Chain A
């Protein structure tokens, strides 16, 4: 098959590479993974000025061809053509931040030296001009010996010129085998390159006044020794508040939609196996999970805005001191914050952490952040078992318990990191050295695209993993049927009931009953399945028709408070998520660390749930 020419976007972090990629390819892009490494591969189609199509890939940002993190390694391997992950690009678009030439030109010089056709995109030229910087692209072109196109990716400026320059750079194959570029191992010393870069930057700078007063003003607050932490705490508070309040209306709408669907099925199908499977199994199970889509999207909205505005690194700056006390760095804060939405993207975000031990520790504690899959479980149990009394002005007991569980997770992560860094991930404390990107107003389209991609991943999961688990559980719970008139509960008689009975023996000492034992197994697929699992258990158990008690009433009737508290504590720690285990295996290249993670988290969950149960029992709750 004839491949279109391959063009790679390369550049320093914060050069506006992804914005340029979005501007050039629009929404016609594919997000995949490079095999063997979990670095996301973004690719899309682009038409050159002469109409030829090319495939454009967006490579991870890097400072040099001397990689210090897994994603920088992918960049090096692709542009030097020795990756095996990708064919050698036919041309490179090197993206540089016009306001940061002395630094970005060094990497540009390294890339030009590789010998591939290069077009330089002098990006964010508008911000540079606003900063009082006047640049001469012609001088830059002469000094570098490659075409230089001024662009403003977010305003779609300079894209036509870029397409034209690229059309000239991507030469049609003439039958001559192109020379393989050098492998980048024989490089000029970094200092020499840096000095040359600075000389070129100075030559290309026509005028320079010190600008960016507004940015310094923002940093005066964000990086202030007292104001900064306060600002961060406020942002986090607003974020979690928004997740619970803004999501209510869309979540209720989704809930109503699924209830309507269930009603529709009930009305149009005859009573029996198929109706029960669809209504009680599939629709109820998937619906119980999809309800949380608004919350997840709101959380991701905050994270995407914090990231693209440039604030996230300031937050990392403020958190560094605290993280250093457990042997981590402020850099770990970013993946850990993402883990509040979902540990999977959180763990994938650790690939920007350079130090291997740091990265491993962050991966191992990421599942302790209260991910959105726990909220359905917490909401259900708290709603059923904790009275909604006012304990303080504006503070209700239910909210307080929810917040307490969140804090226990963070405290657990803190202790775990402390212990891990002194035992299995022992090593010199790594440093914290990060470039702070310029503040910028996030572009609506880029945020929307990011949210769309997250929503798609979530819905795909709900439609496959969660739907399948719920259906299998429903089947295992429904068969075999007890003999008519035997008086045996249909759940106890079913295959699942017998498996649950076995699990119950193990979890009895920590106060768990049969229903919980039954829910724990399918919840391995995804935590939120516990909710639909308990719902299914009671729906089937109740099929002899005493009434259609709501699931909360069922729990209230069958569970004691110590049992409920122990169950909540279990979910703070238990590593019940196949996706997290799978992504950990991929990220750590083997089964050793995911197995360790599962082991230590289950042990912690068992011990903590047991302590909770017995303390609550002795306290007479």
Chain B
């Protein structure tokens, strides 16, 4: 697996795995992750509602599939069994966790 720069690393006390705190905007492609928390305050009410309607919720598995052109295009991600397109600002409000094998 490709090495990626990850901020905010911490060891999980029970499993010894390195858990990294990321958001959906910075999550590398094709890494299985789960939604950790969603910062609803960064979203407008309609955005927040649509995000919930599309199934974004704590504990749901997500994966980044594609990013449109360099320079801030939208992100396509898999949530549940759906593919959803989001803008980066919205993706940045979605905190995710990926378990990585211990070094």
Chain A residues close to B by CB (< 8 Å): 63-64, 66, 68, 99-103, 106, 131, 133, 190-191, 194-195, 198, 216, 219-220, 223-226, 228-229, 313, 316-318, 320-321, 324, 330, 354-355, 428, 431-436
Tell me if B52 and A225 are in contact (CB < 8 A): no
Known: A66-B49, A103-B80, A321-B74. A433 touches B54 (CB 8 A): yes
**Cα separation A435 to B53 with both chains bound (whole Å):** 10
Q: Write the chain B residue with the least CB distance to A317.
A: B85
How many residue pairs link A and B with beta carbons under 8 A? The number is 115
Q: Which residues of A contact B44 (CB under 8 A)?
A: 428, 431
**CA–CA, A100 to B82, complex, Å?**
7
**Extra contacts besides A68-B46, A190-B53, A225-B69 (11): CB < 8 Å:** A63-B54, A102-B55, A223-B68, A225-B70, A317-B76, A321-B74, A431-B47, A433-B84, A433-B87, A435-B85, A436-B76
Q: Which 7 A-B pairs have the closest CB atoms?
A: A223-B66, A63-B53, A321-B73, A436-B83, A434-B85, A320-B74, A103-B55
Contact with A along B47-68 (1 / 0, CB 8 A): 1011111110100000001111
Interface residues in chain B, defined as those with a beta carbon under 8 Å from any beta carbon in chain A = 44, 46-47, 49-55, 57, 65-74, 76, 80-87, 89-90
Say yes or no: A435-B69 contact (C-beta < 8 A), given A313-B85, A320-B85. no
Residue on A with the closest CB to B81? A100
How far is the CB of A309 from the nearest CB of chain B, in Å?
15
* Chain A residues with CB under 8 A of B53: 63-64, 106, 190
* A224 close to B66 (CB less than 8 A): yes
Name 10 interchain pairs, CB-CB below 8 A, sorted by A.
Answer: A103-B54, A103-B80, A194-B55, A223-B76, A313-B85, A431-B90, A432-B86, A433-B51, A433-B54, A433-B85
Which of B49, B83, B84 makes the CB contact (< 8 A) with A68?
B49
Please determine whether B74 and A330 come into contact, CB atoms closer than 8 angstroms.
Answer: yes
Query: Per a CB cutoff under 8 Å, which of B49, B66, B69, B73 touches A219?
Result: B66
Contact present for A320 and B87 (CB under 8 Å): yes
Q: Using Cβ atoms and an 8 Å threshold, which residues of chain B touch A220?
A: 66
Q: Which residue of A has the minimal Cβ distance to B89?
A: A431
Closest to A68 in B: B46
Residues of B within 8 A of A228 (CB): 66, 68
Residues of A within 8 A of B86 (CB): 431-433
A225 to B70, CA, bound (A): 7
Per the bound structure, the CA–CA distance linking A428 and B45 in Å amounts to: 13
B41 shortest CB reach to chain A, Å: 15
A435 touches B81 (CB 8 A): no
What B residues does A223 contact at CB under 8 A?
65-66, 68, 76
Once the chains are docked, how many angstroms separate the CA of A436 from the CA of B51?
A: 14
Q: How far is the CB of B31 from chain A (nearest CB, A)?
A: 15
Residues of B contacting A224 with CB < 8 Å? 66
Of all chain A residues, which has the CB nearest B66? A223
Q: Which residue of B lies closest to A208 (CB)?
A: B81
Q: Which residues of B contact A103 (CB under 8 A)?
A: 54-55, 80-82
A506 to B37, alpha carbons, bound, how many Å? 64
Q: How far is the CB of A63 from chain B (nearest CB, A)?
A: 4
- Distance in angstroms from A583 CB to nearest chain B CB is 25
**How far, in Å, is A146 (CB) from chain B's closest CB?**
22
Contacts of A432 in B (CB 8 A): 74, 85-87
A613 CB → nearest B CB, Å: 39
- Tell me the bound Cα distance from A225 to B74 in angstroms: 10
A478 to B86, CA, bound (A): 61
Residues of A within 8 A of B51 (CB): 433
Which of chain B's residues has its CB closest to A224's CB?
B66
**Residues on the A chain within 8 Å of B65, using CB:** 216, 219, 223
User: Residues of A contacting B55 with CB < 8 Å?
Assistant: 102-103, 194
List chain A residues, Cβ under 8 A from B54: 63, 103, 433, 435
Task: Tell me if A195 and B68 are in contact (CB < 8 A).
Answer: no
B contact residues around A433 at 8 Å (CB): 47, 50-51, 54, 84-87, 90
| Given A321-B73, A436-B85, A194 and B46 contact (CB-CB distance below 8 Å) | no
Name the A residues within 8 Å of B74 (CB-CB).
317, 320-321, 330, 432
Residues in A with CB closer than 8 Å to B83 are: 219, 435-436
Nearest-neighbor residue (CB-CB) of B84 within chain A: A435
Complex Cα distance, B81 from A133, in Å, reads 11
By a CB distance below 8 angstroms, the chain B residues around A434 are 84-85
Q: Which residue of A lies closest to B46 (CB)?
A: A68
CA distance A228 to B44 in the complex (A): 30
